């Protein structure tokens, strides 16, 4: 792909981001102690600590800079709020803002364990955030910006709970056939693909990695349409305009 074809080290950089995710998560969990209640708190900290995805944020930031986007235009960690239509503002994980115009906004999300509850939460967040920002754009919140680029990245733990078939509950009406006996891995793939097809996001990336091999940078991309290379190529092509 044009945006990253000249960077043969891209896979190695992505593997380092995967390693950072798992090692950071393990450190956060260990800090909570060894008791049962502490382990529960550690699991929550690992979800809400906000540092596990820094490797991916930094990687995308560096790719933008290496492809000609000025350092001052790539914003992460601080001053990442954008106005919404249904709420005053929302924090995004990475923004590209140039000459008072919004060029791009990206969410970086992960899920480890608690697949049933967290899948529904992530689904509602992804749809709601996109609806909120596009309605704000429609109402002129980002003038004089042209249509910004919206991206969503998801890293899912590869485990039996995420890869085995899950029975859909249908007490009153039938679910759509693509969801029948679909694992959470497959459900996320369907979600991200539909988010793109409905143009709620311009591009999405979906990665799987297990806790054992992930510390060595191992990962899997279940869909070529949702690959990291395709994701960043789309972003870089838009950001250079």
Residue-level pLDDT at 31: 75
Q: What are phi and psi of 78, to 5 degrees?
A: -120, 150
Residue-level pLDDT at 125: 96
Tokens 């290379």 belong to residue: 229
> Tell me: the pLDDT tens digits for 58-78?
999 999 999 999 999 999 989
Which runs of E-coded beta strand occur in 94-142? 94-98, 101-111
> Tell me: the pLDDT tens digits for 165-189?
999 999 999 999 999 999 999 999 9
Residue-level pLDDT at 180: 94
130 pLDDT exceeds 70? yes
Residue-level pLDDT at 15: 95
> Tell me: the pLDDT tens digits for 187-211?
999 999 999 999 999 999 999 999 9
141 pLDDT exceeds 70? yes
Residue-level pLDDT at 7: 67
Please check whether residue 116 lies inside any domain of the structure: yes
* Averaged pLDDT, 71-100: 96
Residue-level pLDDT at 9: 87
Residue-level pLDDT at 231: 97
Q: Report the mean per-residue pLDDT for the chain.
A: 89
Residue-level pLDDT at 50: 59
124 pLDDT exceeds 80? yes
> Tell me: the pLDDT tens digits for 24-62?
988 887 776 544 444 444 444 444 445 899 999 999 999
Give the rounded percent of residues in the chain with a pLDDT score beyond 90: 80
Please check whether residue 152 lies inside any domain of the structure: yes
Q: Confidence band (pLDDT; 50, 70, 90) for 114? A: confident
- Count CA atoms within 13 Å of residue 220 on its CB side: 13
Please check whether residue 5 lies inside any domain of the structure: no
Residue-level pLDDT at 202: 98
Range of the domain at 123: 10-239
20 pLDDT exceeds 60? yes
Please check whether residue 160 lies inside any domain of the structure: yes
* Averaged pLDDT, 76-83: 94
Burial of 179 (0-12, 13-18, 19+ CB in 10 A): middle
Please check whether residue 136 lies inside any domain of the structure: yes
Look up the pTM and report it.
Answer: 0.88
- DSSP H or E stretch at residue 156: strand 149-157
Contact in structure between 217 and 223 (CB atoms under 8 Å) = no
Please check whether residue 1 lies inside any domain of the structure: no
Eight-class DSSP state of 173: S
Bigger pLDDT: 117 vs 233:
233
Question: Token digits for 205?
Answer: 């990336």
Please check whether residue 21 lies inside any domain of the structure: yes
Going by C-alpha positions, the residue among 50, 6, 1 that lies closest to residue 25 is 50
User: What gap in Å lies between CA 137 and CA 148, rounded to an integer?
Assistant: 9
User: What gap in Å lies between CA 168 and CA 138, rounded to an integer?
Assistant: 36
Please state the domain count of the chain. 1
* Averaged pLDDT, 215-222: 95
Rg (CA), the chain: 18
User: What gap in Å lies between CA 56 and CA 227, rounded to an integer?
Assistant: 14
Residue-level pLDDT at 8: 73
Please check whether residue 63 lies inside any domain of the structure: yes
Going by C-alpha positions, the residue among 109, 139, 143 that lies closest to residue 126 is 109
């Amino acid at each position: 792909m044009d945006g990253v074809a000249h960077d043969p080290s891209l896979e190695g950089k992505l593997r380092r981001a995967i390693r950072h995710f798992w090692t950071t998560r393990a450190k956060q969990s260990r800090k909570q102690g060894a008791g049962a209640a502490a382990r529960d708190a550690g699991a929550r900290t690992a979800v809400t600590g906000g540092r596990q995805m820094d490797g991916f944020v930094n990687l995308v930031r560096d790719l933008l800079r290496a492809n000609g986007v000025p350092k001052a235009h790539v914003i992460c960690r601080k001053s990442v709020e954008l106005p919404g239509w249904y709420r005053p503002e929302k924090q995004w994980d990475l923004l590209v803002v140039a000459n008072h115009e919004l060029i791009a906004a990206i969410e970086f999300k992960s899920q480890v364990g608690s697949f049933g509850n967290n899948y529904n939460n992530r689904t509602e967040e992804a749809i709601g955030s996109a609806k909120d920002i596009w309605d704000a754009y429609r109402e002129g919140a980002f003038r004089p910006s042209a249509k910004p680029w919206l991206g969503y990245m998801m890293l899912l733990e590869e485990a039996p709970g995420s890869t085995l078939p899950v029975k859909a509950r249908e007490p009153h009406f039938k679910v759509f056939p693509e969801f029948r006996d679909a694992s959470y891995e497959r459900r996320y793939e369907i979600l991200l693909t539909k988010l793109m097809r409905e143009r709620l996001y311009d591009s999405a990336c979906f990665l799987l990695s297990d806790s054992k091999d992930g510390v060595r940078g191992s990962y899997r991309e279940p869909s070529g349409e949702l690959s990291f290379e395709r994701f960043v190529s789309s972003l870089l092509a838009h950001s250079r305009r």
